[in-house]
Structure 1
Amino acid sequence: MSLERPVAPDPYELLPAAGSFSVTSTDVADGDQLALTYVHDSAGGENRSPQLSWSGFPAETKSFVVTCFDPDAPIPSGFWHWVAVNLPVSVTELPTGAGADDASLPGGAFHVRNDMGSKNYVGSAPPQGDMPHRYYFVVHAVDVEALDVTGDATPAVVGFNLAFHTLARAVITPTYRH
């Protein structure tokens, strides 16, 4: 069975325009293949979220949301791997493994369910032999201290709220092919 299909567009180009700032990582880089550390255990990985640091965000920023999205999943909606909500503005870094659970996040930040149904980071696991998948790790600078969502929200509901509260985005996009 072939999964050949066209490459999905950059999902963030489809959203309302927002400013940008910088995100870096000691663990992942734009265009580079993810190490097994950040891959789902079903694909031989360790299922750990990568380290992320950010700077240069707008002065009006009051909180952050960190997400990881795969637009290349072989389904129309793509696949949400990670959604960490309401990170305090004083936080400008998440260490490796911060996506393990809510206790791993600073302040009152919390996870919403990813597309595997768990409230944590879930590593990449594209179908074997599929094209390289892109993983958009995005730090969203938000204009409110807390989005009006709970831990029961879906990534779509968080994304809808972000459409009205995002000042700027910082994006780093590694890839993975199994």
Structure 2
Amino acid sequence: MRVVSSAFKNEDFIPIKYTCDGQDLSPELEWDLVINAKSYAVIVEDPDAPGGTFIHWVIYNITTNRLPEGVPKVYKSQYGIQGVNDFGNVGYNGPCPPKTHSPHRYYFYVYAVDTLLNEIKNVDANKLKSLIKGHEIDKGFVMGKYKRK
């Protein structure tokens, strides 16, 4: 499944607007429609974080093949159900690596799911992945990098 963003190309740097140094908006994402998918889920991961993979966004029960820029940081919106990221917040929090680090990679994973998932408040990425297990039809990603000045 192909995943793209109008904000950055795969393997390019993520503009500051989408990070903790800017407006911290979620970037626009779009992906291929998958036959038999009833919903989609997005998990954004930083595998380069000092303590292991750090989660920046968890959103599921998305019923279209795109998300606009700046999805509101609320549990339930017109775009889907948002879980808790590793900052402890609901919704998207963008790249914010330690200033001394070389660029981190941020994977915007999109999962095509054959069902609508039960709503669970404050779901985290691990729980969402376990809910998707057995229902995942396809998966894709776009990866962006970020280094703080």
TM exceeding 0.5? yes
Q: Deviations over 1:10-33 (max 9, x none)?
A: xxxxxxxxxxx1111111221111
Q: Does 1:135 align with 2:128?
A: no
Q: Deviations over 1:97-135 (max 9, x none)?
A: 0153345543xx211110011111001100112121111
1:171 to 113, 138, 141: 141
Per the normalisation by structure 2, the TM-score is: 0.91
Q: Does 1:114 align with 2:90?
A: no
2:31 to 54, 72, 75: 54
Give the SS at the match of 1:159. helix
Gaps of 5+ in 2: none
CA RMSD of aligned residues (A): 1.5
Instruction: Determine the structure 1 residue equivalent to 2:22.
Output: 45
Q: Which amino acid aligns with 1:141?
A: A
Q: Which amino acid aligns with 2:32?
A: S
Q: Give every structure 1 segment of 4 or more consecutive aligned residues whose post-TM-superposition deviation is greater than 4 Å.
A: none
* Greater helix fraction, Structure 1 or Structure 2: 1
CA 1:170–1:176 in 2, change beyond 3 Å: closer, same or farther? same
| 150-159 vs 95-104, which moves further | 95-104
* Greater strand fraction, Structure 1 or Structure 2: 2
**Identity between Structure 1 and Structure 2 (%):** 30
Instruction: Determine the structure 2 residue equivalent to 1:155.
Output: 125
Instruction: Determine the structure 1 residue equivalent to 2:55.
Output: 80
Instruction: Determine the structure 1 residue equivalent to 2:67.
Output: 94
Q: Which amino acid aligns with 1:31?
A: E
Gaps of 5+ in 1: 1-20
Q: Deviations over 1:22-77 (max 9, x none)?
A: 1111112211111111111xxx21100000111142x111111011111110013x
CA 1:152–1:144 in 2, change beyond 3 Å: closer, same or farther? same
